[in-house]
């Protein structure tokens, strides 16, 4: 006589899961990360899934679970990229204003002509990417004074049409 209790389902082989859900996970990754990171996000998703696979319950909604894992891996990639960013202007193209000097020496000649504090603060802030709190430790004064020196220095450079 059959028992009234259902026997728990078992999960399919992992290879079958990759075949069935790989395209869906790839679509999630494509929607959430840059194209250069899609393959990494997809791989990280299935690596995490593989390591957790033996311990998962048999009645798991595999599709929903994999989509959740993929979203979290994409978030991890975004966070990792944000932590690695040190120079906020590294990816910007160089723009030269019409009539402005085209060589870096011209720009730095004007920066060098600024008063000492303005030159130091601008260099630490915009070349070194340091926060004002750290700049104060290096040049002295207050954060407000450092911000003012940067503002005055940038205004002087703009007046000379340096971009």
Which CATH number does the domain housing residue 55 bear? 1.10.1740.10
Domain limits for position 129: 104-159
The pLDDT tens digits of the residues spanning 112-163 come to 788 989 888 888 787 777 889 888 888 889 999 999 999 998 888 888 764 4
- Domain assignment present for residue 154? The answer is yes
Domain count, the chain: 2
Q: Within a domain: residue 39?
A: yes
pLDDT of residue 163: 45
Instruction: Tell me, yes or no, whether 43 lies in a domain.
Output: yes
pLDDT at 162: 46
Among 23-27, 88-92, 102-106, top mean pLDDT goes to 23-27
Q: Which of 53, 84, 115 is the last residue of a domain?
A: 84
Class of residue 130 by CB neighbours under 10 A (exposed 0-12, middle 13-18, buried 19+): middle
Q: In the block, which residue shows the tokens 């989509």?
A: 67
The predicted structure's pLDDT at residue 50: 93
Task: Give the chain's end-to-end CA distance (angstroms, integer).
Answer: 86
> Average pLDDT, stretch 36-40?
91
Is 79 in the same domain as 138?
no
CB burial class (10 A; 0-12, 13-18, 19+) of residue 22? middle
Residue 74's pLDDT is what?
Answer: 92
Q: Answer yes or no: do 27 and 57 share one domain.
A: yes
Residue range 71-102, pLDDT digits in tens: 999 999 988 887 776 555 555 555 555 555 55
Q: What share of the chain is helix, strand, coil (3-state, %, to 5)?
A: 65, 0, 35
Model pLDDT, residue 2: 47
**Residue of 120 and 47 predicted with greater confidence:** 47
User: Residue 141 belongs to a domain with what CATH number?
Assistant: 1.10.10.10
Q: Are residues 80 and 108 in the same domain?
A: no
Residue 126 belongs to a domain: yes
Q: CB of 124 within 8 A of CB of 138?
A: yes
């Amino acid at each position: 006589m059959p028992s009234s209790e259902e026997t728990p389902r078992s999960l399919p082989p992992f290879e079958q899961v990759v075949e069935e859900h790989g395209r869906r996970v790839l679509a999630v990754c494509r929607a959430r990360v840059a194209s250069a990171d899609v393959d990494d996000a997809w791989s990280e998703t299935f690596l995490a899934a593989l390591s957790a696979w033996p311990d998962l319950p048999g009645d798991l909604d595999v599709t929903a679970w994999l989509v959740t894992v993929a979203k979290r891996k994409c978030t991890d990639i975004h966070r990792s990229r944000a932590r690695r960013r040190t120079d906020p202007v590294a990816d910007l193209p160089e723009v030269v204003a019409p009539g402005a000097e085209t060589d870096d020496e011209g720009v730095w000649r004007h920066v060098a002509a600024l008063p000492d504090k303005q030159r130091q603060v601008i260099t630490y802030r915009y070349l070194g990417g340091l926060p004002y709190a750290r700049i104060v430790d290096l040049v002295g004064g207050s954060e407000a004074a450092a911000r003012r020196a940067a503002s005055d220095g940038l205004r002087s450079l703009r007046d000379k049409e340096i971009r």
